[in-house]
């Protein structure tokens, strides 16, 4: 019988890579927590309409990439392809717009699903860490979110980073611009797919990868030339705040991003070294999303998501050393197999005292136990010998320096408790 295999594009994360993964996830969440963003958890699946309406019918994500299925009650459900629509759905369902204390500053991390062609940095199941600030249009919050993503990536050591930013204006600014853009696009014989999509949203012509489209779009009129004075003033403040923080910005009037909900400030963090899948993260304002989902009035928001897989890829390509985290702090070694119960008791006691501790099993030789101790990354081995056990003592060996000393068993536990 063949062994079952995992799904292509749905990676397994095993040690030590899983450790690096966690380091990235934790660093980003911690950066968000320092700014008061609280963790939320929303379901991995949602009614399909959350994404069809939220992300938009004209997008690649909704047209081609969603894992959508009928459940046994004939409801159309979709594995979340992104986080923002679900987070907004949850906020509206909980009546957050009316409960005061806005903005709500939320962070999330988890699995997302898109049926794309798997390649380096593009998976079918991937992980994002994201933040969303809901219920404010203040440009300070735009600057805060953009800066937090930048700083999280800096903290991780990703210095070869380009921050592209654009102003997509408000929905109300779009009608006149769409006319301009459509008049321009009418001059070309466009691929059928682009024709179809631009009927739904002419901006989508900017993300088409069809041959010849990049050349056509390079000359196309850009939205940032057609936004209102209010949107321009808002963007100018965001830029000023970010420049005062020393964040290097690359203004990119062609940056529209692939999801329909974006308005005003829109941005992407790109790793200079990643080639095709260079966006390690991106985000923007989505002041019309709540209304798209059926909320009766405007409820603005802004946020981003960073992809863990691509961030790790960028860190590796840059040769950034990730911190070697130890599996446990202390490794208990028994000099003979008949001391296994004492070793077990001491290990359990250390764990209860708050230290991470492990021990070897299967009656390994002393040499094999020390090898296991080294492999665990533990700084200290606590060695139990017959004579020491009788005397109520243990030997503590510093595995980094090789120094060792004999101490009372209880004192050893207390020592690691403090450490
Ligand atoms: P997004 O640009 O579609 O935005 O995805 C954000 C990041 O998720 C990407 O930059 C990339 O690192 C990662 N990512 C996306 N698709 C894949 C994939 N197939 N494989 C590996 N990584 C991937 C959003 O999802 C928005 N919800 C971000 C946002 C939050 N906007 C406002 N708030």
The pLDDT tens digits along the chain (419 residues) read: 999 999 999 999 999 899 999 999 999 999 999 999 999 999 999 999 999 999 999 899 999 999 999 999 999 999 999 999 999 999 999 999 999 899 999 999 999 999 999 999 999 999 999 999 999 999 999 999 999 999 999 999 998 899 999 999 999 988 889 999 999 999 999 999 889 888 888 988 998 888 999 999 999 999 988 999 999 999 999 999 999 999 999 999 999 999 999 999 999 999 988 777 789 999 999 999 999 999 999 999 999 999 999 999 999 999 998 887 789 999 999 999 999 999 999 999 999 999 999 999 999 999 999 999 999 999 999 999 999 999 999 999 999 999 999 999 999 888 887 65
Residue identifier of the C-alpha nearest atom 11 of ligand 1: 307
Distance 126 CA to ligand 1 centre (A): 9
Distance 372 CA to ligand 1 centre (A): 39
Whole-number pLDDT of residue 11: 97
Distance 257 CA to ligand 1 centre (A): 10
Distance 304 CA to ligand 1 centre (A): 8
Determine if ligand 1 sits within 6 Å of the CB of residue 393.
no
Domains and CATH numbers, the chain: 16-170+227-318 (3.30.930.10), 330-416 (3.40.50.800)
Quick one: three-class SS letters along the chain? CCCCCCCCCCCCCCCCHHHHHHHHHHHHHHHHHHCCCEECCCCCEEEHHHHHHHCCCCCHHHHHHCCEEECCCCCEEEECCCCHHHHHHHHHHCCHHHCCCCCEEEEEEEEEECCCCCECCECCEEEEEEEEEECCCCHHHHHHHHHHHHHHHHHHCCCCEEEEEEECCCHHHHHHHHHHHHHHHCCCCCCHHHHHHHHHCHHHHHHCCCCCHHHHHHCCCCHHHHCCHHHHHHHHHHHHHHHHCCCCEEECCCCCCCCCCCEEEEEEEEECCCHHHCEEEEEEECCCHHHHCCCCCCCCEEEEEEEHHHHHHHHHHCCCCCCCCCCCCEEEEECCHHHHHHHHHHHHHHHHHCCCEEECCCCCCHHHHHHHHHHHCCCEEEEECHHHHHHCEEEEEECCCCCEEEEEHHHHHHHHHHC
Distance 1 CA to ligand 1 centre (A): 38
Ligand 1 pocket test: pick from 54, 126, 287 the residue with the most ligand atoms within 8 Å of its Cβ: 126
Whole-number pLDDT of residue 419: 55
pTM of the model: 0.94
Rg (CA), the chain: 27
Ligand 1 pocket test: pick from 307, 308, 313 the residue with the most ligand atoms within 8 Å of its Cβ: 307
Whole-number pLDDT of residue 231: 97
**Known binding-site residue numbers for L-histidine:** 82-84, 114, 128, 132, 257, 261-262
Nearest atom in ligand 1 to the alpha carbon of residue 283 is: 31
Alpha carbons within 13 A on the beta-carbon side of 132: 25
Determine if ligand 1 sits within 6 Å of the CB of residue 207.
no
Ligand 1 pocket test: pick from 82, 149, 204 the residue with the most ligand atoms within 8 Å of its Cβ: 82
Determine if ligand 1 sits within 6 Å of the CB of residue 234.
no
> ∠ at Cα 271 (137, 202), nearest 5°?
55
Determine if ligand 1 sits within 6 Å of the CB of residue 81.
no
Distance 159 CA to ligand 1 centre (A): 20
Determine if ligand 1 sits within 6 Å of the CB of residue 25.
no
Distance 110 CA to ligand 1 centre (A): 12
Whole-number pLDDT of residue 418: 64
Residue identifier of the C-alpha nearest atom 12 of ligand 1: 307
Residue 247's CB is within 10 A of a number of other CB atoms, namely 17
Cβ pair 35, 144 in contact under 8 A:
yes
């Amino acid at each position: 019988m063949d062994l079952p295999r995992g799904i292509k594009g749905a990676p397994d994360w095993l040690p030590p890579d899983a450790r690096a993964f966690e380091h990235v996830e934790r660093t980003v969440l911690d950066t968000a927590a320092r700014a008061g963003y609280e963790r939320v958890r929303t379901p991995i699946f949602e009614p399909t309409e959350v994404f069809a309406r939220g992300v938009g019918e004209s997008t690649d994500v909704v047209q081609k990439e969603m894992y959508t299925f009928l459940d046994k009650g004939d409801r159309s459900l979709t594995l979340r392809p992104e986080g923002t629509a679900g987070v907004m759905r949850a906020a509206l369902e909980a009546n957050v717009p009316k409960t005061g204390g806005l903005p709500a500053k939320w962070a999330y991390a988890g699995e997302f699903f898109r049926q794309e062609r798997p390649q380096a940095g593009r998976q079918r199941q991937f992980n994002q860490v994201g933040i969303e600030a809901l219920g404010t249009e203040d440009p300070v919050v735009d600057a805060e979110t953009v800066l937090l993503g930048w700083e999280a990536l800096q903290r991780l050591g990703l210095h070869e980073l380009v921050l592209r930013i654009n102003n997509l204006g408000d929905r109300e600014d779009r009608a006149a611009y769409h006319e301009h853009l459509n008049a321009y696009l009418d001059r070309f014989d466009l691929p059928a797919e682009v024709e179809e999509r631009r009927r739904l949203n002419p901006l989508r012509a900017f993300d088409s990868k069809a041959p010849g489209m990049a050349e056509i779009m390079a000359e196309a009129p850009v939205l940032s030339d057609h936004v209102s004075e209010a949107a321009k003033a808002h963007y100018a403040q965001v830029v000023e705040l970010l420049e005062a923080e020393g964040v290097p910005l690359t203004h990119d009037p062609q940056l529209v991003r692939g999801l329909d909900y974006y308005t005003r400030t829109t941005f992407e963090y790109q790793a200079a070294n990643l080639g095709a899948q260079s966006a390690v993260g991106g985000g923007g304002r989505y002041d019309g999303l709540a209304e798209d989902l059926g909320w009766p009035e405007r409820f603005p928001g802004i946020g981003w998501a960073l992809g863990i897989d691509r961030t790790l890829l960028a860190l590796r390509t840059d040769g950034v050393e990730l911190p070697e985290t130890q599996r446990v702090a202390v490794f208990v070694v028994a000099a003979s197999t008949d001391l296994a119960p004492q070793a077990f008791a001491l290990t359990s006691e250390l764990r209860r005292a708050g230290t991470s501790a492990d021990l070897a099993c299967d009656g390994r030789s002393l040499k094999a136990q020390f090898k296991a101790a080294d492999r665990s990354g533990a700084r200290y081995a606590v060695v139990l010998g017959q004579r020491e056990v009788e005397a109520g003592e243990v030997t503590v060996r510093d595995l980094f320096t090789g120094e060792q000393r004999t101490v009372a068993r209880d004192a050893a536990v207390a020592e690691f408790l403090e450490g």
